[in-house]
Amino acid sequence: MQDRSVICGKVIQHTRNPKVAVEMVQKLKHEGKVLGRQSHDHLLKYMGFFEDKSDPKKAMLLTEFCNGGNLDEFIHHHAVGGMKPEDIVRSLHQVSSALEYLHQGSLFHTDVKPKNIFIRCVKPFDVVLGDCADIQPRSYKGKLLGTRLFHSPQIVQRRANCGPSDDVWALGISALAMIDMSPKVMYNVQGPKRKDVNVDYDEYPARCGTHALSLRQVNKGNALVTAIQKMLELETAKRFRAINVRRAMEGQLDKWEGKTLNITPPEGFQQVEFW
Mean pLDDT computed over 9-14? 58
Residue 134 in any domain: the answer is: yes
Tell me: do 54 and 181 sit in the same domain: no
Kindly report the average pLDDT of the chain as a whole number.
Answer: 86
Helices (H), 63-199: 71-78, 85-104, 153-158, 164-178
Contact 229, 169 (CB under 8 A): no
3-state helix, strand, coil in the chain (%, to 5): 40, 15, 45
Domain that holds residue 11: 7-64
Strongest mean pLDDT among 16-25, 114-123, 130-139, 189-198: 114-123
Residue 1 in any domain: the answer is: no
Tell me: do 49 and 89 sit in the same domain: no
Is residue 119 over pLDDT 60?
A: yes
Tell me: do 132 and 244 sit in the same domain: yes
Residue 91 in any domain: the answer is: yes
Tell me: do 80 and 137 sit in the same domain: yes
Tell me: do 20 and 125 sit in the same domain: no
Mean pLDDT computed over 17-21? 69
3-class SS of residue 182: coil
Q: What is the pLDDT of residues 192-229, one digit of tens each?
A: 555 545 567 889 999 999 999 999 999 999 999 999 99
Kindly report whether the peptide bond that precedes residue 153 is cis, defined as omega within 30 degrees of 0. no
Tell me: do 139 and 83 sit in the same domain: yes
Mean pLDDT computed over 77-102? 92
Tell me: do 76 and 60 sit in the same domain: no
Please state the pTM of the whole predicted model.
Answer: 0.87
Tell me: do 161 and 234 sit in the same domain: yes
Q: What is the pLDDT of residues 137-163, one digit of tens each?
A: 999 999 999 999 999 999 999 999 999
The number of distinct structural domains making up the chain is 2
Tell me: do 143 and 216 sit in the same domain: yes
| Residue that wins the pLDDT comparison between 196 and 55 | 55
Tell me: do 48 and 181 sit in the same domain: no
